[in-house]
Amino acid sequence: MTSSTSPPTNAPQGLEMQLRERALLYEIQRSFSGVIDLDELLPILIARTKSAFEVESSAVLLVDPKTSELYFPHVSDVDRDVERRFASIRVPPGQGIAGWVVEHGETQCVADVRQDPRWYGNVDSASGMVSESLLCAPLRGKERTVGVIELRNKLTGDFQPADLRLIEALADAIGLALENALLYAQTQESEELLKGKLAVRNRQAIRDGGFRSIVGQSEAMRTVFGLMEKAAATPITVLIHGETGTGKELVAKAIHAAGDRAEREFVAVNCGGLSETLLESELFGHKKGAFTGADQDRSGVFEVADGGTIFLDEVGDMPAPMQIKLLRVLQENEIVRVGETLPRKVDVRIVAASHVDLAAAFREGRFREDLYYRLSAFPIELPPLRERKEDVPLIALNLLERTIEKFGKGPRAFAPDVLAIFESHDWPGNVRELQNEIERAAAMAAAREEIEPADLSEKFKRIDVPKMSTEINTGNLTLKEARDLFEREYVAQVLAQHRGNAAQACKTLGISRVMLQKKIRQWDLRNSAHGNTAKEGRSSKSTARQAT
């Protein structure tokens, strides 16, 4: 026996019945007229049609424009477990009575769904419901069919011709209302995404107060640069390990900027700085009303960075429940906003970082082993500053230039003893500690040309450094003349040591090339700059004063 596709024809057709139908149609349409928010519209549609048609359940299925599958955007009057099951149901294109209605654009009334060859029983199986009769109508917008409305199991008797007339009259109004709500939701989502991107950029601008490039010529850093280059060429997940202040975020940014996602967003999140609830909302977003303070829908950074890169800093401090959720995202490439059940597909590259050894952490049970292996596909180890002290002068000069740019003024060079002090320190806070010390010293030096040992903080003033072996007969020079004489001899010595290589001399001296050229002209050190040893003679003024 095949399913009936039209209701019985013996229902009364009198004028009184028509008036009642029109009044009911008007009441239902008025209930959702002007409602533009999809989350408000769907419950109204489902509740009013369920009551008006006296059915066990009413449901709206929308067409996913990307896959053409049908899905349930909202269900009501069910427990949370059934709601989650409905959220996971996807009806393939053309499958089931609902799929047939979408493809053919015709309303269908089926008295016994089990006898209809089009019946798609997976919905009942997944939801735990039992369907017997079904009235299903297409919901058309101006541009396309946006979905269907299904009325399931008449509570008393069978579906009548009046039911068919009423659902067809309602369907067009419902379709237009849903199309407008969907367009509004897309507009809102785009606006949320834009706001999210602007917020991320603002946070990045604040965080980017330090230097903007990675500096280093040591063997250890050349190894790091080689790994970064290889990582940038592929979409592989990267795990950066290094002490606090070694520049893990700078490395992540550089990998992103050198890869094929450079034109999309780079978003950094500190996984150790937020509670579990706030971190989940930050990563995945939330639905309005999901928790106290969630007064509007919000996109998470996974949506903001879709197509780009997410930097998960201090991932080793992530709470255990969030580790499970992050693992699911890495496996399925989809997220679920807090307060929602419908998953959203995302395409992001993950670069993670940690100051703790994650391999040791998972062996000790403090980090998920499966997540560790997911994150550590391409490990990069950043050396601490104490293991590459030859980079300190170059980094210090780079930081000083950035500090001058940040402050708008300040000293442009370091006194030789300052660089010697810097190279003698172990820098437990690494580059970040060096940056803080230089910014403080620049503020102390104020309008002077150079940062001197007296400008450093107390712990650096206590550091003993080897003194220069060069003996200078100062005679009865003034302090300024003696200082100039010492500086001239020292610059000449450094130039001779590097055989006139200006780049190497600038690195040792901690000054810019412009400043070095100025000093060469000031003290007539052109011979030293071309690789010869410093002249033994003094300036005429100095010689005259020493002779007296």
Query: SS3 sequence, 440-503?
Result: HHHHHHCCCCEECHHHCCHHHHCCCCCCCCCCCCCCCCCHHHHHHHHHHHHHHHHHHHCCCCHH
* Final residue before a domain boundary, out of 184, 200, 219: 184
End-of-domain residue from the set 461, 495, 525? 461
Residue 445 in tokens: 């030096």
pLDDT of residue 199: 61
| Residue corresponding to tokens 């604040």 | 206
Q: Is residue 194 part of a domain?
A: no
In a domain, 189, yes or no: no
Report pLDDT for 37.
83
403 lies in the same domain as 354: no
My answer on whether 419 and 536 are in the same domain is no
Distance between CA 5 and CA 169 in Å, rounded? 18
Beta carbons of 136 and 107 less than 8 angstroms apart? yes
The dihedrals phi and psi of 57, each to the nearest 5 degrees, come to -155, 150
Question: Looking at the structure, do residues 232 and 319 belong to the same domain, yes or no?
Answer: yes
Q: Are strands 298-299 and 450-451 parallel, antiparallel or unpaired?
A: unpaired
Are residue 152 and residue 91 in the same domain, yes or no?
yes
Question: For position 312, what pLDDT does the model report?
Answer: 96
- Domain with 502, as residue range(s), is 479-547
Q: How many CA atoms lie within 13 A of 138 on its CB side?
A: 16
Question: What is residue 369's three-state secondary structure?
Answer: helix
Q: Are residues 38 and 58 in the same domain?
A: yes
Q: 3-class SS at 129?
A: coil
Residue-level pLDDT at 373? 93
Same domain for 233 and 177: no
Q: Kindly state the greatest CA–CA separation across the chain.
A: 133
Q: Give 288-296 contacts, CB < 8 A, sequence gap 24+.
A: 288/39, 288/339, 289/339, 290/337, 290/338, 290/339, 290/340, 291/338, 291/339, 294/338, 294/339
Is 261 in the same domain as 374?
yes
- Which of 383, 398, 423 is a domain's end point? 383
Q: Are residues 219 and 180 in the same domain?
A: no
Domain tally for the chain? 4
Is residue 423 assigned to a domain?
yes
Instruction: Tell me, yes or no, whether 444 lies in a domain.
Output: yes
Instruction: Tell me how far CA of residue 416 lies from CA of 441, 453, 527, 530, in angstroms.
Output: 14, 9, 21, 21
What is the Cα 531 distance to its own chain's centre?
A: 51
Give the pLDDT of residue 252. 94
- As averages over each run of 10 residues, the pLDDT of the chain (548 residues) reads 46 59 75 81 88 88 90 73 77 91 92 90 81 92 89 89 88 88 83 71 46 72 89 92 93 88 91 86 88 84 94 93 92 90 91 94 92 94 92 88 86 86 90 93 88 90 61 62 75 76 79 80 68 38 32
Indicate whether 104 and 221 sit together in one domain.
Answer: no
**What is each CA distance from 272 to 311, 315, 539, in whole angstroms?**
13, 7, 60
Is 3 within a domain?
no
- Asked whether residue 360 is domain-assigned, the answer is yes
Does 368 map to a domain? yes
pTM reported for the whole predicted model = 0.57
- Residues 221, 105, single domain; the answer is no
Gap between the Cα atoms of 506 and 514, Å rounded: 10
| Together in a domain, 369 and 392 | no
- Strand partners of residue 299: 285
Please indicate, yes or no, whether residues 245 and 372 belong to a single structural domain of this protein: yes
Q: What is the pLDDT of residue 52?
A: 87
Residue at 309 is within a domain? yes
Reported for 17-25, long-range contacts at CB under 8 A and 24+ positions apart, including other chains, are: 17/162, 21/162, 21/165, 21/166, 21/169, 24/52, 24/166, 25/166, 25/169, 25/170
